[in-house]
Amino acid sequence: MPWRTSPADRARGILPDPYHIWMSEVMLQQTTVAAVRDYFLRFTARWPTVADLAAAEDGDVMGEWAGLGYYARARNLLKCARAVVSDHGGQFPDTLAGLLSLPGVGPYTAAAISSIAFDRAETVVDGNVERVMARLFDVHTPLPAAKPELTALAAELTPAKRPGDYAQAVMDLGATICTPRNPACGICPWRTPCAARRLGTATELPKKTPKKPKPTRTGIAYIARRSDGAWLLERRPDRGLLGGMLGWPGSDWAEEVPPHDAPLGANWQPLPDLALHTFTHFHLRLTVMVAQAPEGSNPQIGMFLPPETFRASDLPTVMRKAFDLAHAHFIELG
DNA sequence: GAGACGTGGAC
DNA sequence: TGTCCAAGTCT
């Protein structure tokens, strides 16, 4: 992983750049290593220091984050970089309290930065550690109620020596051996003390409270291409779903399509295929309306972005799906 | 405490 | 296809 320093370097006391650890930990929130890797490389290449990031345009950061999800992380990433520069002289705080005061940095991320980047003895508790502790001590209390109990158990195991290596090791154990399904108990370094291994309960732990089913919502997106190749887009408000991201004008999304005004007053036509997408808490069936807009069109809603400015990769995935359908349509049109 | 908040991969 | 899941935070 590109944000790690080698074990040999850590053993010699060479610690990683706190900026890199912070960036990777924020990206890794609820996100797999495989998904994060390329984003991390692009972000650190484009903004090598926290000061560079703090000076970035909001839209550039949101566009670079597009596709990674949980966009509040990107908004808080910028807020945090600016806070580090304006309130902390461009250096990340090394204490839990200092780190916790930063936007987008909660108990997990603060402990991760403090232990990994500064080698302080803080207890890191993520989903991996919760699972490892639940099995090691055979805890049957369902999550999230079990969190305090699992955190206390994890804290007792946290060593004073090499806490950064330890934090990464426990998370790696959870990610590679003590996995949710088919844990590799036979090769686990903790197989001897593990209570769940002894009792045969490993695969059923940790218990979780059941989730609610996802409802299906419907909506309409309007995609207009002007004769000069410009696309009609809007910047979504900073709060809520896809907040701060670029998107197509359209209706709200609800069980029934809410009343709304179409932009431009062009002759909109529906595409035969819907854009289907699933968010954390609902399914979406999005009707895509397309229209050709005459040159010189001035929209009441949104703005036309010329093709040299617009990158489809700046769109969140649901908007990208709608674009791909519309783009194919306009190509057919010639 | 519970819900909002994305996405892509595994099974 | 549908469900679950991944290095959480904020409200």
Q: Tell me: the pLDDT tens digits for A191-235? A: 999 999 999 999 999 999 888 899 999 999 999 999 899 999 999
Fold of A216-333: Nucleoside Triphosphate Pyrophosphohydrolase (3.90.79)
- What's the rounded Cα separation, in Å, for the pair A81 and A85? 6
* Strand B close to A209 by CB, under 7 A: yes
The yes-or-no verdict on residue A334 having pLDDT over 80 is no
- What's the rounded Cα separation, in Å, for the pair A314 and A320? 9
Assess contact for A274 and A219: CB atoms under 8 A.
no
The yes-or-no verdict on residue A266 having pLDDT over 80 is no
pLDDT, tens digit, 9 for 90 and up, residues A17-62: 999 999 999 999 999 999 999 999 999 999 999 999 999 999 999 9
- Residues A165-192 have a mean pLDDT of 95
Looking at domain A7-204, what is its CATH homologous superfamily?
A: Hypothetical protein; domain 2 (1.10.340.30)
Q: Find the residue closest to B2 using CA and C1' atoms.
A: A144
The yes-or-no verdict on residue A13 having pLDDT over 90 is no
What is the sign, positive or negative, of the torsion defined by CA atoms of A110, A113, A115, A119?
Answer: negative
- What's the rounded Cα separation, in Å, for the pair A116 and A10? 10
Q: What is the pLDDT of residue A52?
A: 98
Return the domain boundaries, chain A. 7-204, 216-333
- Nucleotides of B strand lying within 7 Å of any protein CB atom: 1-9, 11
Structural tokens at position A20: 């890199």
Q: What is the pLDDT of residue A265?
A: 76
- What's the rounded Cα separation, in Å, for the pair A92 and A117? 10
Structural tokens at position A127: 């989903």
Q: What is the pLDDT of residue A233?
A: 97
pLDDT level of residue A11 (50, 70, 90 thresholds) = confident
pLDDT, tens digit, 9 for 90 and up, residues A277-303: 999 999 999 999 999 998 878 888 899
The yes-or-no verdict on residue A65 having pLDDT over 80 is yes
- Residues A148-154 have a mean pLDDT of 96
Q: Which nucleotide is nearest to A241 (CA to C1')?
A: B5
Equal fold, A7-204 vs A216-333: no
* Strand B close to A318 by CB, under 7 A: yes
Q: What is the pLDDT of residue A295?
A: 80
Closest by CA to A81, choosing from A133, A164, A23, A138, is A23
Distance A171 CA to B7 C1' (A): 22
Task: Count the Cβ atoms, other than its own, within 10 Å of residue A134.
Answer: 27
Least confident interval from A48-52, A94-98, A130-134, A262-266? A262-266
